[in-house]
Structure 1
Amino acid sequence: MEKEPKLIKPITSKVEAPKSERVPKGVINHVATTQKIMALTFNGLADEQTMDKLLNELNRFDIKATFFLPGIRVAEDPDLAKEIIKQGHTIQNNTLNHVLPDKLKYEEAYIELALANRVFKEHLNIEPKYARTRSGDSSDSFQEAAAQLNMEVVTYTINPKDTQMQSAEEIADYIRRFANRGAIIELNTYINPEVIRAIPLIYQYASADGYTLTTLEEVHQTNYLVDELVDTNNLAVNTDYKNSRPAIIEKFSTLEKEIALTFDDWASDETITAVLDILDNYNVKSTFFLIGKGVETNPQLARLIIERGHEVASHSYNHKVITTMNPRALQEDLVKNDQILTHALQIKPLNYFRPAQGVLDEVTAKAIGATGVDYIVLYDVASLDWDLSLSEDEVYNRVVSQVGPGSIVDMHILDESHTVSVLPRIIEHLQQNGYKFKKISEMIPKNK
């Protein structure tokens, strides 16, 4: 017996866009969290048979997801939308007519979102907090409209573009390649049937790498960044630096078998996590000198370093060889990086600075000191772990043959380096030879 067609009440546009008064917050394309958690989100509402298959796969792996649904489809099939909620997933606003942001005027965007919200309230008794367009992209007018409705616009971190009809393997491989803490994954429910077959593969890869897949709302609850300003080290541009007396440390004065193991630069979630896991395994705490340009992209990884018991200091924002910079540009770089690191950590970083490649001269040293930096921290043991023309054994021998009491060992967090493979050997050798590892801040009192 055939189902009788559903009677759908027309969705009228008796709504007027108010004068724009609220300032948009910008888009959410990533969540700053130190937890290994990612948001799995879907756009659109497919037919009942397709949605049943998709929901069954998610249920099979106990994955909860967020579905951005067009209001018109919820009005057409409210029972299907209710089933999504019943199975523990969440629903957010995908506009009324599943529109693209291109050429969408403020008034049009407002009506699309407001009418969709009306549908969700009437049929599902929910009030969406987030909005997304059909493509997942955004525009100024769309963000402006969302702000007037007290909504935030969500885009994505990882979009494998399943609309191009890739295979399940290609979709899952793409997601694994770009997986990181707080990532927002965007897929579609109604275009490429391979998305359903990709779910087990996505789950398998995520689990193997230690990630949990869940709703956008749950991931967003773990966000640690706040809008309030956090006190920085108050570094400042100071062109009167001729009489500056910078404090420079290359090695600590001690007869005790104590050394500082330090790391420069920036890397992916995978590499930074691997380094932190190794340090945890050997109960070693270190000092990380971070590049602000990288931290700005994934601030949660800088925060993770702090949460794992290590300390963070500046390695500049742009990572230029500072002797090639004019003093003012150098000072502006240091001030900017202090602000970037403070925001990422939500506390002040250590007021130390290490120049790129350890290159320093008298003028740049004075300019650095004049900004208010407490210590310029160099090193006496350069591992050269970044140099892939060297073998792992050569890097290992460089470090263990040069280390002495009070040494500062320079290593790197770089995706293309020997660090992860050689670090355990270096730590084991030094510990077996009676060395204790300390953070720079713990060693500085010995230098006074």
Structure 2
Amino acid sequence: MRAPVLMLILIFLITLSGCSTKKSLPIEELPSNDNELHPKEVSPSSFEIEQIMKLASKGMVIDSPFNVFESSIQQVKSSWGEPEQIDEVAGGSYATYKERNTVFGFNPEGEIYDLRSYNENLRELTMEKVEHELGQPKDMRKNNQESIYVYELQNNTELKFIISSNTKRVDHISIYNPARIKTQQYVLDIKGNSNQLTDKAWRSMQNWRVQIKKFTTEHNNVYLNGPNKKMVALTFDDGPDETITPAIIDVLNDYNVKGNFFFLGSNVKLHPEVVKKAYESGHLVLSHSFNHVELTRLGKGEVEKEIKGAGEEIQSVIGKMPAILRTPYGDTNDQVVNVSKEQGYSIVLWSIDTLDWSQKDATNIVKNVVGNVRNGDIILMHSDSDKMETEKALPLIIEALEKMNYEIVDLETLLNIKAYQ
């Protein structure tokens, strides 16, 4: 019996030795860290969201040693070389390092204010998981292609999760420092053409456009356009009348879009029911002076009378005094600005002129908008009695803008100023 027992013991020891040899590795072949022993899962974990937040608090994103507080694009180029491409935008530029999954937004001085990571692991991250870990965002912006969830950090920066509308997952993240772009002015050139203008009239208009753009940069209560965001405002001068203005209100209502009506005090007096309809439909009722005269040719007392008279006429109908004025013909000077400010008004002009008062043709009106539209544009149209082509063009403009993912808003929203006093 002893021989079989000894044989069994010997077989067991040989087997054990073989298993041990199979599992053992020389010390130099051991993985260098726990991550290699336990590779990361493709799907970001709660810990990784925590890491994203930790980096964001330092102005950083994954895959990049740079930050939005101190780093410059010169430092990036010195370390990483030239980017694959640079895209120019209003107020800054964006440099793409595709192989490093990183994009840098930088201002004219080269300071980085926006850092974006396109790390492919982010695409396994759903918004539900982000909200579970971080709570509801401070702000959410949405269009047909993406949703942007914005979390505000203690250092006044923003962490943004950009969600694809197709996949419902994170496409990329951005850490954004507005302090590095706050001194930049986003002022657009005024666009719009008409084949009905003489060469002399066109040169005069071009000269005025250059001068008024410079003028707006020197006065903090005069606006040509809104901020560099995917929003625009539709504005209508010279009403109300009894046919075109009500028709335009109906179109705006049908599309659930807010409009901005710069009414003349003299016309408000003639058609108060139209003014009331515009206001009760949720559109802004604003001032275009009382008589549509060139305010820059008047004395101070006459300017005061024009502005005050229109405001009081509007107030008598809607119960509110407007706080936004559009000067007739856009004519504006220091005296007009000062009087407006004294009476509680901001002056809002335009960055796209449809020239519906010159070339009264729906095709050209639409072309002037669709062919020129940019972030923050304020679009000038008219709603007085001979603007049938404007009424005809309006649905086409709204549909085109929405197809281009522009949000159509009122001036109060676009400019973050009061519509009424």
TM-score, length-scaled by structure 2: 0.45
TM-score, length-scaled by structure 1: 0.43
Larger RCO of the pair (alpha carbons < 8 Å, separation 6+): 1
- Choose 1 or 2 for highest CA Rg: 2
**Larger strand proportion of the pair:** 2
